[in-house]
Structure formats: C-alpha cells, structure tokens
Amino acid sequence: MEQLVIKKLLEERLAPDSVCTDELMSRHTTFRIGGPASVFVTPKSEKDLVTAIEICRSQGAPYFILGNGSNLLVSDQGYDGVVVHIGSDLRDISVEGTEITAKTGAMLSQVAHAALAHGLTGMEFAAGIPGSLGGACMMNAGAYGGEMSQILVGVRALDDKGQIVELAADQLELGYRHSIMMEKQYVVLGARIHLEKGNPEKIQAQMDDLKEKRIAKQPLEYPSAGSTFKRPEGAFAGKLIMDAGLRGFRIGDAMVSEKHCGFVVNAGKATAEDVCGVISHVQQVVMEKYGKELEPEIRFLGFDR
C-alpha cells in the first residue's frame, strides 16, 4: 500500500491530527498485542468516517474498522492497510421513551447504563461486554442468554456502494455471531434499540449479579479478546478444552486460562504468534479427542489466513 499517498489524501479531507502512521495496535486491542498499522485514522465525525472509507475504497487500499478492539488479534507484523478507529467522537446516545438511538462508537456498557438511568430493561446482558455498539450489531454480540437480535430495531450503515442506508433488524440476517453486514462489508454508523419499561432496582440487581458471575468465572485479570472460540454445536468450547487436559496450556506468554478454558489470555508479553500456536494446538487436540471443530470467535488482522 502507498502509505504516504493514502495519508496525504486523508489529511487533505480530514483533520490532520486525526491521521498518523505506524501506530502500534497493541495500544488499541484488549489483548494488548499487535504490530503497527501503516495508517491509523480516528474520524472526528460521521462525515469524516464516511469520507475516510470512501478514500480507502477509491484507492483500493485495504482498511479495517476498529471499535474497542475487544474481539481482535493483530499480527506481530501489524497491518499493511488503514485502520479506521471509531473513537470517543462517535459515542452519542439519546433516549426517547423505550427506544435508544446511539452512534456506532458508543460502548455497550454506556448504552446499558443509559437504559438503567431511564428505567429500561432488556439490555442488562450487555453491561459487561467490553465492545462498541457497531461491532456488537455487526456480530450479533451476546452473553448470558441475551443478544443484540433481541433488542435491535435497525441500523444506519454505509453500504458497499457508498450509500447510507437504513436497515431493519429483520434485514440483517442476525444469527450466532453473524450478520449479513459482515459478509457485505457494510459499516455500522448507528443503531436503534427497543427496550421495555422496568424497575431500576431490579435492573441494577441483575447487572450486579451478571458482573459477579463474570468476575468469578472469567479471567478478567489478564488481557484477552474475550471468548476465543464459538460454541460448537451440542457442546461448550471451554468444557471440551478442559476435558482435553489443556487447562493452563501455554506457548510463551499465551495461555489457556486456568479459570475459564474458553479464554486464551496474555499472561505477560504474549505475541500474536504465541496466541495462534495455542489456538492451533487446542483445535488439533479437541478434534482428535472429540471430533469437534473449534472455530475461533475472535477476528484476525494482518495474517495470511
């Protein structure tokens, strides 16, 4: 990629201080792993976001939309492309009646607490998910029996032709960690959520209960990308990994969590190569012992895979 050409084009159309080069991705992922992105841009408005994507597409430059980096492993060599970072300038949230409208960069935890503040129930499951709204809509994020498909009314998105479109939830083909937007490379700009009136004390109590469960069961003391594997049909990834005797298995500082075997964690200075080695070994052993294919839930950036 012509790094300097793309950088110059972005700086001409956006605020110059929103564009930089060779930004370490380890600063922007919850795994705390990843080499440099050739160009890193943080749009200050929706218009700038759309413009940045238009420039990348017109130049044929590879690009990646980054939210909170909570479900992502970036190569140690980094990413030879443009990372478009949805930052704090795209996090507006508004509440009207039982509907919440928010921009793509709003953190799920922020939206869930806005719901709590207005006595709205239905989003308690999302209060502890460390991701952004855009990414959550894109992959139909969920936890503890709840998922975005249950509350999503629709999204505003930039389609693959550069048009801003309004899509109802039933047009998104929302499934387990899937939406049609992932396939068509749409970019979520914002979303509308419908909730129900509830009792704030009960909503808070449920959030507190789920928080306690997360602290007790998940390795929050280590950097990670959340659940490493999707749930295989008829089984649970964490239990298969545990039963296969892989609790605590490690390569370098990448380790199968001893608290929850469904998580691969960064126990110190893990590299992306270490993480991939652990993932591959776990997949191989589980397939050999149980005939179950473990598909990664995390996304990979900068790899030939």
Task: Determine the 3-state secondary structure of 58 from DSSP.
Answer: helix
Question: Which tokens belong to 43?
Answer: 């749009």
Q: For the purposes of burial, counting CB atoms within 10 Å of the CB of 256, is it exposed (0-12), middle (13-18) or buried (19 or more)?
A: buried
Q: What is the DSSP letter of 42?
A: -
One-letter-per-residue 3-state SS of 178-246? ECHHHHHCCEEEEEEEECEECCHHHHHHHHHHHHHHHHHHCCCCCCECCCCECCCCCCCHHHHHHHCCC
Exactly one of 38, 224, 227, 257 is catalytic; name it. 227
Largest CA distance in the chain: 56
Phi-psi region of 37 (alpha: psi -120 to 50; beta: other; left: phi over 0): beta
Structure tokens given for 80: 């030879």
- The single-letter code of the amino acid at 194 is H
Which two three-digit tokens encode residue 215? 């602290």
How do strand 142-143 and strand 120-121 relate by DSSP bridges?
Answer: unpaired
Q: Is 297 a catalytic residue?
A: yes
Strands 36-41 and 79-85: parallel
Active site annotation includes 177? yes
Catalytic residue among 177, 192, 224, 257: 177
Distance CA 61, CA 145 (A): 39
Rounded to an integer, what distance in angstroms lies between the CA atom of residue 49 and that of residue 158?
10
Whole-angstrom Cα distance, residue 80 to residue 39?
A: 8
Tell me which of 23, 46, 147, 297 is the catalytic residue.
297
Written as six digits, the tokens of 106 are 């709003």
Positions marked catalytic: 177, 227, 297
